[in-house]
Chains A and B, each alone.
Chain A
């Protein structure tokens, strides 16, 4: 699907905001985790509601994955979803000062904690560049160790389509891998367009 709801110029601006935002986010995440985090160049796309589960599954790849969702609220509004491959998040337990024995609740809490840090840093960074403030809901578990095609059910999605910004995270010499996907419903994209226009004008 082509990105109909933002202009080419707005798309470029969003790409730039995302690039800068991720750079800053990487630095602050490293401060929290005490390790350098590799972030991919953000990918921007638009998908229809029915395509969202498949898009998430494609990111997660084959196999088992878990996902955490977190809402962001304010002028910019939507949900961020963080997808973890299998148990790769357990790898970060020590960095967030979890004990050695990770039981079920602890490893789920770890997923929420990591998501909260990543989402807060990345989306907070973007919001700041766009000179707007956003708040975050508490994160909650969307899917816990399920087949990647089962992360999200299409019939639960209320938006018609969504703008999707995707970033990959990894840490050198660690198995930890995850994807952060920022999803904005079609009816919230108008606010994003205004914010992007503002950003372009101020350049």
Chain B
């Protein structure tokens, strides 16, 4: 075979190559007159090279962005460097139908076009050749990829949110389980104490009666003492009376019994408060007296309070409130304990003011302290689970987040007012009645 190509043949070869390449190839001169239009361009545009050659490109394709494209062509003529258009910024130059009339996807063929300077007679650029590549498949694939990535991102966000929710839910569950078991324990202890207290009380009543009778009897005997003839016996009685200090015993005995009675009343009250506070028997919504709940709660935590603060009460008249009483008591307890812990011990006894009130369909319960107050930062993060400014072991940072959720469950709200160095006031608002919607 003769490898020395005939120049005529190689020209024909090139011409046929340009014609057949699966790439759009066209060329224009400086006036925009078409000098080359290959079959790719003809097939997709529906305009044959006979239609196009010698015609003005912009006259044949009025939809082309003329000023912009002219500028672009001009830059290639002037600078002699390639210029480009990219499908992702400018989807297409020529509006060609895509090659997916059946399977669909994008309406127009996506195109990358490179404009090449052609120097036919040496120096000056005489033609600009456009090569047009079909990027439709890439564009469709990229769209799908974008969608998939966006979907992944959405899913990831949703998962992250879910995980965060789960974490808070779990923490709160832990905390409320803890509270529930403390409540159960308290109620159990209260119940156990109730029985012995019951029989001690009834025995004490009997004892009191017997004592009174005995004392009566002794008084009568004492009156009869002078009638005793036997001197020896009289002396013996007198010695015993003195040794036993019977006068004092007679005086002291009723008092001892009275004190024991008082003690029993107090034990009964504590037991009742414990039961009231824990409400183990009632976990359902009920109508409760929040003043009573607040008092019961204060009694339960009294030991924490009494050496550090005096408590002022300022209760309004409240209607019965539909609530989960044990849970609201938990909220009050958290607030009271926080108030005590916020007190400035260097200033001696603090003051905690408990107030309640009623406004339209709402009641409020307020716990105010004259403690250290909160910084802006603390105020913002107050309700975050595990946010605490207290030393390890003293605070877990769950009190306010659990309280928030309990109040939320009651469709209520918590207002905070705090001035650093002066004190803090929490006001819990709950509606008297829950709306019928169940969540």
Contact = CB atoms under 8 A, between A and B. Distances in A.
Contacts of B89: 105-106, 108-109, 112
A138 B81 contact: no
Contacts of B78: 28, 31-32
Nearest to A139: B84
A121 to B, nearest CB: 5
A113 interface: yes
Given A109-B86, A109-B89, A120 B74 contact: no
A191 interface: no
Contacts of B90: 105, 109
A97 B84 contact: no
Interface in A64-92: none
B410 to A, nearest CB: 47
B84 A124 contact: no
Contact of B81 (A31, A105, A124, A140): A124
For the residues of A in contact with B, the DSSP-based class is helix
A121 B82 CA distance: 11
A140 to B, nearest CB: 8
Contact of B79 (A96, A97, A124, A138): A124
Interface stretch (B13-21, B29-37, B63-71, B258-266): B63-71
Interface residues of B, number: 21
Contacts, number: 56
B294 to A, nearest CB: 55
Contacts of A116: 75, 81-84
A96 B84 contact: no
A69 B383 CA distance: 49
A22 to B, nearest CB: 14
A143 B79 CA distance: 26
Contacts of A117: 75, 79
Contacts of A136: 81-82
Given A116-B81, A120-B81, A124-B81, A96 B71 contact: yes
A31 B81 CA distance: 14
B114 interface: yes
Nearest to B67: A97
Nearest to A108: B89
A138 B135 CA distance: 15
B95 interface: no
A32 B79 contact: yes
B23 to A, nearest CB: 15
A40 B79 CA distance: 20
A30 to B, nearest CB: 10
Interface string A108-129: 1100110011001100100000
For the residues of B in contact with A, the DSSP-based class is mixed
Interface in B65-107: 67-68, 70-72, 74-75, 78-86, 88-90
B276 to A, nearest CB: 61
A201 B114 CA distance: 37
Contacts of B74: 32
A113 to B, nearest CB: 7
A113 B65 CA distance: 15
A32 to B, nearest CB: 5
A120 B80 CA distance: 8
Nearest to B89: A109
Given A97-B67, A112-B89, A138-B114, A121 B81 contact: yes
Given A28-B79, A31-B78, A105-B90, A138 B68 contact: no
B58 to A, nearest CB: 13
A68 to B, nearest CB: 11
Nearest to B114: A138
Interface string B105-131: 000000010100000000000000000
Interface string A13-38: 00000000000000010011000000
B81 A112 contact: no
B81 A97 contact: no
Interface string A130-159: 000001101110000000000000000000
Nearest to B88: A105
Contacts of A121: 79, 81
Contacts of A113: 72, 83
A117 to B, nearest CB: 6
A188 B79 CA distance: 25
Given A32-B75, A112-B89, A97 B70 contact: yes
B356 to A, nearest CB: 54
A136 B79 CA distance: 13
Contacts of B71: 32, 96-97
A79 B74 CA distance: 25
A145 to B, nearest CB: 15
A105 B88 CA distance: 8
A86 B113 CA distance: 28
Q: Which of B70, B90, B112 gathers the greatest number of chain A CB atoms within 10 Å?
A: B90
Interface of B: 67-68, 70-72, 74-75, 78-86, 88-90, 112, 114
List of 9 A-B pairs having minimum Cβ-Cβ separation, nearest first: A120-B81, A97-B67, A109-B89, A138-B84, A97-B71, A97-B68, A32-B75, A105-B89, A31-B78
16 contacts: A32-B74, A96-B71, A96-B72, A97-B71, A105-B90, A106-B89, A109-B86, A109-B90, A113-B72, A117-B75, A120-B75, A120-B79, A120-B81, A124-B79, A138-B86, A138-B112
Given A28-B79, A120-B82, A121-B79, 9 more contacts: A97-B67, A97-B71, A105-B90, A113-B72, A116-B81, A124-B79, A124-B80, A138-B82, A140-B86
